[in-house]
Amino acid sequence: MTAVKICGLTRPEDVEAACALGAAYVGFNFVASSPRRTTRLHARDLKSICPPGVLRVGVFADEDWALIRGAVGMLELDLVQLHRRLTEEEVASSPVPVIAVARPSGGSFAVPRHDILVRCHAVLFDPSEGSGTALDPDRIEEASWPVPVIVAGGLTPDTVGDVIRRLRPAGVDVASGVESAPGVKDRGKLERFFAAVREADARAL
């Protein structure tokens, strides 16, 4: 099954639902400007709900490495996702593997250099960064990448199947597309999202 990352989790019941439905990753957002921002103390309670095997991801942008390392240690994060220009030094100094983010730049994406990317867990193509801006598959489907590809941006239960069929990504990442309000997941939308992923995967067999 295409791996599913449910991001911007802020409520225990949403973490429980995401994990019960089969999420491979759960994301806790520490970006100061995000409406889904959580604190380390609150996220500590949320992460305790995650069963073994579900990877806990800390999402960061301009936060300094003292804060990032503190979050990794307190929450036992498995991965960090960095929404900024990624350097070789940052990948080397991270206490856990990094999800690199390919950010929109003009008509394409700004992707980290190959020698940096190969040291990462995956690369995330995200035109929205939480805003719900829809991904245009034509912008990435002709390229090949040295690490697993995760895609995000305007994904919903109604659109994720087509994106999977076109791109065959290793994973999909959703936040706003399964919410009733920022940070508040909708159980029905979550169920339909996972069902759409399973259906798209089944059609590819």
Contact by Cβ (8 Å): 15, 46: yes
The two three-digit tokens of residue 143, written as one number? 């390229």
Domains belonging to the chain, first-starting first, are: 3-204 (3.20.20.70)
Ranges assigned E (strand) in 138-191: 149-152, 171-174, 179-181, 184-185
Amino acid at 151: V
Spatial distance between the Cα atoms of 186 and 183, rounded to a whole number of angstroms:
10
Q: What is the model's pTM? A: 0.93
pLDDT at 144: 75
pLDDT at 140: 74
Mean pLDDT by 10 residues, the chain (205 residues): 96 98 98 93 94 97 94 97 93 96 78 93 84 70 82 94 94 96 96 98 85
pLDDT at 49: 95
DSSP label at residue 6 = E
pLDDT at 203: 87
pLDDT at 141: 60
